[in-house]
Amino acid sequence: MTTDPSSEPAVVDAEPERPLFRFGSHEERTRAIAHSLLLVAGAFLVAMVLGAVALELLRTMGLTEESAPVAYNLVSTAVQFVAFLAVCIGYIAWQDCRSLVPTGRPSLRSIAVIVVGFVILVGSLSALEFLFSQLGLEPADNAAVEAGRDNPELYLFMIPLVILLNAPAEELLFRGLVQGRFRRAYGVVPGVLAASAVFGMVHFVALVGTGSQLVYVAIAASAGLILGAAYELTRNLLVPIVMHALWNVAIYLVLYLEATGGL
């Protein structure tokens, strides 16, 4: 890897161009769809298997969701994203497609995109949630948020987890690989749209409570659009990873303060 001081670090096998729209060969288009669906399905399947094994081990030690809710939820969440990372790394090695996930030391331009993108992310998603609330629609909660209501310390433990596992795993899978595959077959715009749609839909499986699942999916998909655009602007996967991590950290800090009476 070489570095141009005036721009992003250059990846040796990076894509030479990224047209906004393109119509790849039938083989490219079929591969993009098939590989993306199999990647996501495979990631969740491996996560389910490893999660079941990990939680069974916890139960053998007398740790259940009732007796140790914080440990139980942390292990369950951590194993899921370890599985995502393992599947993604295995896929990259199998397909020899390192160029789909370019990373490098962020330039000043990338840092600016992170800052501006995070502000846009917070503002847009907050506005979207407010709009839905005016229509009488509240988003459903994910399992970790629900569990933390009775155990606020879980929110604090989730912060290092989202920084080290959650954000890297989801961005590697959805922005790096899924968006990358669709971009190569269809172009930048369809790639961002497709990855964002998949990103929104897969959050459906983690929802609990009485709120609207469709509202949560819409908010997640909107976040995917912003993260995907930031990635395409910088061609550096660390940019959406940092933005994603900052967003989740902000959410868990607010939830913790609300649960403990700090807000």
Q: What is the pLDDT of residues 8-45, one digit of tens each?
A: 444 334 566 788 999 888 899 999 999 999 999 999 99
Residues 208-245 pLDDT 10s: 556 788 888 999 999 999 999 999 999 999 999 999 99
Question: Residue 35's closest CA among 173, 171, 167?
Answer: 173
Which phi and psi (to 5°) does residue 2 adopt?
A: -110, 160
Residues 105-115 pLDDT 10s: 999 999 999 99
pLDDT (0 to 100) of residue 131: 94
Q: Two tokens at 222?
A: 């909107």
Distance CA 126, CA 129 (A): 5
Count, residues in the chain = 263
Distance CA 67, CA 60 (A): 13
Residues 6+ apart with CB under 8 A from 184: 15, 24, 28, 32, 100, 191
What value does the mean pLDDT of the chain take? Answer: 90
pLDDT (0 to 100) of residue 3: 42
Distance CA 111, CA 255 (A): 27
Distance CA 207, CA 190 (A): 27
pLDDT (0 to 100) of residue 248: 95
pTM for this structure? 0.91
Q: Is 255 exposed, middle or buried (0-12, 13-18, 19+ CB in 10 A)?
A: buried
Give the model's confidence band at 146: pLDDT under 50 very low, under 70 low, under 90 confident, else very high: confident
Please give the average per-residue pLDDT across 169-177, as a whole number.
Answer: 97
CB 8 within 8 Å of CB 103? no
